Amino acid sequence: MQIYTYAHLQGVLGSCDVEGMATLLNILNKNSPFIIGAKTAATNATLIGNFCNIRNRSGPRFKSTGKIIMTAATIHLAKKENGKDLQDFQKVYNAIAKKLRDDKEYDDHTGYGPVLVRLSWHSSGTYDKRDNSGGSYGGTFRFKKEANDPLSKGLKNATDFLKPIFDEFPWISHGDLYTLGGVTSIQEMQGPKIPWRPGRVDTDESTTPDNGRLPEPYGDAHWVRNYYDRFGFNDQEVVALLGAHILGRTHLKNSGFDGPWDDDPDIFSNQFYANLLNEDWKFEKNDAGNMQYDSKKGFMMLPTDYALRQDPKYLTYVKKYANDQDAFFEDFKNVYVKLLENGITFEKSSPTYVFKTLKEQKEFKKS
């Protein structure tokens, strides 16, 4: 087991006075079975909230008695794959992008892009801010417990798609591969550039979160707001994130819902919001017995999608994004990065990569 050092904590948390840092190190090294960068993950380490305030007797966790109040949490320190840089990860991006380009027949010629975005969402959407558990860090979607969550039906197609990529680049962690698959797909489907950071670490099966953390499609606006509070998302972030529903389609055999959100399911755009506002929606029972919103054009909306139109606060952002794709792209980019990185502590020096699309690389070679 590797012991915490001043360098580790300064790199992640910044400088603090020597005695305060020493106090934290002493507690962590005595009480935390935490292995930095090992394949066996961090589990329930003990933290001090805002430890730099210890010496000053300030901060929410320092009481008048002078005692340090401890809380249980999970630490997920990012550790980038050794010796790998932008060029290495661009190669992984390119391999995914070329496979997306060459395998266009999947799902009635929609291609694999939408299902890879869904995989990145579901592998990250188990996060819970209350104890910092779940999320993309450990790549635990590779285990049956998480992959067999009923709300993730159909995602075996995505993991099967990525298997030859992992075989070609066995040094990449599963969490990094699942999230990079989503980033690649969004960019190749004409979406915004997504800044991405590596450093997720394959953890063991015991760290797999329980089922039941993914969003149900039946809720109203109150349910949606309460659900996304678990991620720390505000109203604007929720509306921006759900705009990704422009991609792909629902399938009765997987989700119990049926139909696409638009007639261009492989193009990332702001059309989700325009359709939500402008279509004549009817609330109807589908062949699986579930209620969904259907339009004359053959589009559908989930009850949780339509809730964005019914809630005045959400509706403000729906109208904004329907009229301004640039604003949507910017806000989606930010909340999607937050989704992929929730629960992970990156060192201050951790690199952020922005990848070139296949089209950009081709145009660069011509110039």
Residues 6+ apart with CB under 8 A from 198: 78, 80, 81, 84, 89, 172, 173, 176, 351, 353
Distance set, CA 25 to CA 9, 111, 343 (Å): 8, 50, 21
Instruction: Specify whether the CB–CB gap between 259 and 298 falls below 8 A.
Output: yes
Q: Has 122 been annotated as catalytic?
A: yes
Tell me the C-alpha to C-alpha distance, in Å, between residue 348 and each of 10, 43, 78, 80, 302.
Answer: 9, 22, 11, 13, 40
Which entry of 121, 174, 196, 261 is annotated as an active-site residue?
261
Question: Which of 122, 174, 245, 281 is an active site residue?
Answer: 122
Instruction: State yes or no: is 8 an active-site residue.
Output: no
**Distances, alpha carbon 69 to alpha carbons 47, 61, 66, 74, in Å:** 9, 5, 9, 16
d(CA 135, CA 132): 8
Task: Determine the Cα–Cα distance for residues 148 and 30; give it in Å rounded to an integer.
Answer: 37
Q: Which of 103, 306, 159 is nearest to 223 (CA)?
A: 306
Residue numbers annotated as active site? 122, 261
